[in-house]
Structure 1
Amino acid sequence: MTDEPIIEFKHVSKTYQNGTLGLKDINLSIPKGQFLVVVGLSGAGKSTLMRTINRMHDISTGDIRVDGESIVHLKGKELRGLRRSIGMIFQNFNLVKRSSVQRNVLSGRVGYYSTWKSTLGLFSKEDKQKAIEALQRVGLGEKLYSRADELSGGQQQRVAIARAFMQDPKIVLADEPIASLDPLTTESVMDDLKRLNEEFHITVIVNLHSVSLAKRFADRIIGLRDGELVYDEPISKVTEKDLEAIYQPVSIVKKSEVQA
């Protein structure tokens, strides 16, 4: 990990069309190679924050910079280039269930091919070998020709990680990647993400509800509440009391502040 930022939020706010406030004046700098965990209650803005980085959500005000370049007005080829460099891992795996594991993993390379080639599955021999290696990396080399819907939930999520790796990403975003998994499978998926981070120096940002996993895997933890950044500390300074406070309802937090 270096001190050089790969992602910068500068006074970023997001208001949805129905008036709901998603983010409020976020200022945040994320160094290259960091494993960042975002915690907070449901609806705190965790997914919104993450999805502004790859422009799945546009912001209302402020600026977001990736590798020093503002991304808020990117269009066409430039926007596709941004998204190609950012792997996304979803809670529901987001696989094509009736397709083979190989085809799902190779879909991580579609940003490098013309539309007609990717549609017809005309991937290079090198990329097919790369898919095998990506699956071996997450312990699923023997599942290459299986259909995605034949796999367990944990296996499907590891296929999704292999697919993200195929993009040669500089950033991986994982939005509640373990929410539907059992404890043993959770460990495997988090270990895979940590390995991507440590072995390949990929910046990883993960939304989690589990405080124990956040403390175990993160280099740094930030907390959101009602769209605001309310906590930001390196893991060496994170305390159990701090994390408990992030998950308290706003009314309780405000009451404790008045009593103090």
Structure 2
Amino acid sequence: MIELNDVSKVYSNGVKGLEDVNLKINKGEFVSIVGLSGAGKSTLLRSINRLIDISSGDIKIDEKSITSASEKQLRMIRRDIGMIFQSFNLVKRSSVLRNVLSGRVAYNNTLRTLLNLFPQKDVDLALKALERVNILDKAYTRSSELSGGQQQRVSIARTLAQEAKIILADEPTASLDPVTTKQVMDDLKKINTEDDVTVIINLHFVDLAKEYSTRIIGLQAGKVVFDGTPEEATSEVFEEIYGRSLKEDELLGEENL
């Protein structure tokens, strides 16, 4: 379970990223976070694994406070949290396999990691992860030679190799074409359902949120303005979240959201 209790984040320039957010996310949920740019979606996601520190409140992962965790405790909590970025966050000059093996860094000592001396069980785990996202044939290819969609699937494989219990995905399909977007979303949904992994994803596309989610959370100016099922997320609800009327084509996934 992920719990956010009275969480607020105020940046140094005075901008409120989050304001009094209270949420409980249960194991195995597929949660989409929607809202305009600047609504606080990335702030919320990055607060959960403490890539940024909140200003007040507390965030707990399985009843352990990540907010007040020591460096050692934080490393252990983060070991269970995989992160997928819009920009893929891969080492482009390294092979696909080496990038996936970076998900095993927290399980190995520093020297072994620096020398790229991963145990065979870690290599096997990484190869299996690549097979699950259908790019096993690219294992020894430089990451820079892959398409955007393939690079994002490497990112997903990295979280599989990490054996993450929670996946946080920050607009992972924003730079992908529609076909590749569906492949990536299908991969995430498959991991969610088959492995009972909690997925929390920031999305621009309303139709994707409705199709793949078990729960949708709408943010506006750092506040939660909607929290419900896809069935409850009507066009009127999205109009409230985005603060303006939505045309039918926008509901079908127009990028200007």
Same fold (TM over 0.5): yes
Which secondary structure does the structure 2 equivalent of 1:24 belong to?
Answer: strand
Quote the Cα distance in structure 1 between the aligned partners of 2:17 and 2:175: 24
The amino acid that maps onto 2:180 is T
The alpha carbon displacement at 1:20 in A equals: 1.0
The alpha carbon displacement at 1:243 in A equals: 1.3
Out of 34, 47, 64, the position equivalent to 2:59 is 64
1:212 aligned to 2:238? Answer: no
The amino acid that maps onto 2:133 is V
Quote the Cα distance in structure 2 between the aligned partners of 1:15 and 1:158: 33
Which secondary structure does the structure 1 equivalent of 2:164 belong to?
Answer: coil
Out of 69, 72, 87, the position equivalent to 1:77 is 72
Alignment match, 2:24:
29
Out of 139, 142, 146, the position equivalent to 1:144 is 139
Q: How many residue pairs get matched?
A: 244
Q: 1:114-139 CA distances to partner (integer Å, 9 max, x unpaired)?
A: 11111111101111111111001000
Quote the Cα distance in structure 2 between the aligned partners of 1:81 and 1:70: 12
Quote the Cα distance in structure 1 between the aligned partners of 2:48 and 2:169: 12
Which secondary structure does the structure 2 equivalent of 1:221 belong to?
Answer: strand
Quote the Cα distance in structure 1 between the aligned partners of 2:81 and 2:150: 22
1:182 aligned to 2:154? Answer: no
1:18 aligned to 2:13? Answer: yes
The amino acid that maps onto 1:64 is I
Alignment match, 1:196:
191
Alignment match, 1:111:
106
1:9 aligned to 2:4? Answer: yes
**Which runs of 5 or more structure 2 residues have no equivalent in the other structure?**
245-257
Which secondary structure does the structure 2 equivalent of 1:185 belong to?
Answer: helix
**Which runs of 5 or more structure 1 residues have no equivalent in the other structure?**
1-5, 250-260
The alpha carbon displacement at 1:19 in A equals: 1.1
1:159 aligned to 2:130? Answer: no
Alignment match, 1:129:
124
Quote the Cα distance in structure 2 between the aligned partners of 1:182 and 1:20: 33
Which secondary structure does the structure 2 equivalent of 1:139 belong to?
Answer: coil
1:120 aligned to 2:120? Answer: no
The amino acid that maps onto 1:86 is I
Q: 1:92-112 CA distances to partner (integer Å, 9 max, x unpaired)?
A: 000000000000000000001
Quote the Cα distance in structure 1 between the aligned partners of 2:206 and 2:184: 16
Quote the Cα distance in structure 2 between the aligned partners of 1:23 and 1:167: 29
Alignment match, 2:95:
100
Give the alignment's Cα RMSD to 1 decimal: 0.8
Quote the Cα distance in structure 2 between the aligned partners of 1:77 and 1:55: 13
Quote the Cα distance in structure 1 between the aligned partners of 2:9 and 2:62: 22
Quote the Cα distance in structure 2 between the aligned partners of 1:71 and 1:143: 36
The amino acid that maps onto 1:184 is V
The alpha carbon displacement at 1:244 in A equals: 2.5
Which secondary structure does the structure 2 equivalent of 1:58 belong to?
Answer: coil
TM-score, normalised relative to structure 2: 0.93
Q: 1:192-236 CA distances to partner (integer Å, 9 max, x unpaired)?
A: 000110000000000000000100000000000010111111223
Q: How many percent of aligned residue pairs carry the same amino acid?
A: 58
Quote the Cα distance in structure 1 between the aligned partners of 2:238 and 2:114: 46
Alignment match, 2:41:
46
TM-score, normalised relative to structure 1: 0.92
Which secondary structure does the structure 1 equivalent of 2:231 belong to?
Answer: helix
